[in-house]
A and B are shown apart, each in its own frame.
Chain A
Amino acid sequence: MVLHEDGTCEAEHLAALARLFPDARIIRRREADAAMEARLAPYPECLAYRRQHALAMKLFDVPAYAQTRRVLLLDSDVLFYREPREILDWLDADNDETWFNSDFQHSLNIKPEEARAKWGIKLWPLVNSGLVLLNPAVLDLDFCEQCLGEGTIRTSGWEWCIEQTLFGLCASRAARGGLLPTDRYEVSYGAQAAPGIVARHYVGHVRQQFYSEGIRRLYPILLG
C-alpha cells in the first residue's frame, strides 16, 4: 500500500496511519516533488498542472511510484460494505484492463463528441476516479501533455474534474476496461445507499452521510 501525502499532513497524522497500516509506504509531498519535478521536466503542461493542483498527484505520482502492473486507486471518501468481488476478480484475472466507479452525472471537462473529434477517442462518459482499478501504463504522459496543452479541459468545467477527465481520456484511449456496475459501486446524491451495494463514494454534499450512514454502519463491524 502506498499513501501519497499532499503536503498538508502533520507528522502525527502520518504516524497514526503508519501505526494502523504498518506495511504502508508513505510518500511525503516534499520527497515526491523532488522526484516528480525531474520526471515531468520534459512535460511542462503536466508539471504546471501538478504544481497547481494536488489532485494531479493521483495522475502522475501514482504510476511513477507503482511497483506493480496494476494499482487499486482509492479516494478517502469511499467506504466498503461488502466483499468487492469485482476487484478480487480483476486481481485474479491478471489482465491489463482499467475500471472506474461510474458517476451518476457527466463530470468530465470534455464531451464525448469532442473527444472523438479531437483525438478519435470513444470516451467512457461517466468516469469517476474515486475508485479505479488501474493499469498505470494507460497514463501516457505525452498524451496528457497534448490534452493539457490543448486547453479545453483546463478552461471548461471544474478544476477538480481535470484529473478525472485525463484519467477518462487515457483509459478510454486504451479501450480496455470500462465502468463498474452502479448497483454495486454507488456514486449518488441519494439520501441513503442502495441496498446490496459493495461500496459507496460519498461525493459532494452527501459527504455528511459518510458520518451518519457510513460510520454508523461500519462502527459495530470494525470496532464493536
Chain B
Amino acid sequence: MSSPHPRLTAGRLWWLFKLNCQRGWRTAWYEYQVMPRILQWRVPVEFPAENRAEIHLLTSHKDWLFAAWMLASFFH
C-alpha cells in the first residue's frame, strides 16, 4: 500500500521535522503509525438492501484514509 504522503527528500524531511516539533511527536505517531491501521477494521453491520438514504462523500489521494476513519466512526 503506497503512502498518501509525497516522496521523502532532504527538504521534506526537514519540513516534517519542524512540523512535528511544532505539533508534537504524539500527533505524528497517530498520523503515521496508527492512522493506517484502520485498514484492519471491518464493517460491523450489514446494510439493508433497500436504503432510505445514501451516504455520499468526495475523496482524494490526500484524504482517503481520513474517509476510512470517518466512515468507520459513523458505522460503529
Contacts and interface: CB of A to CB of B under 8 A. Distances in A.
Interface of A: 1-6, 8-10, 12-14, 16-17, 19-23, 54-55, 57-58, 61-62, 65-81, 84, 91, 94, 208, 210-212, 214-216, 218-219, 221-223
Interface of B: 1-2, 4, 23-24, 26-28, 30-31, 34-35, 37-43, 47, 51-64, 66-74, 76
Nearest to A22: B43
Contacts of A218: 69, 72-73, 76
Given A74-B74, A77-B70, A216 B57 contact: no
Contact of A68 (B23, B53, B59): B53
7 contacts: A13-B64, A54-B60, A68-B52, A72-B53, A75-B57, A80-B74, A208-B23
A8 B42 CA distance: 25
Given A6-B60, A70-B53, A20 B37 contact: no
A6 B52 contact: no
A65 B24 CA distance: 41
Nearest to A90: B53
Contacts of A10: 2, 61
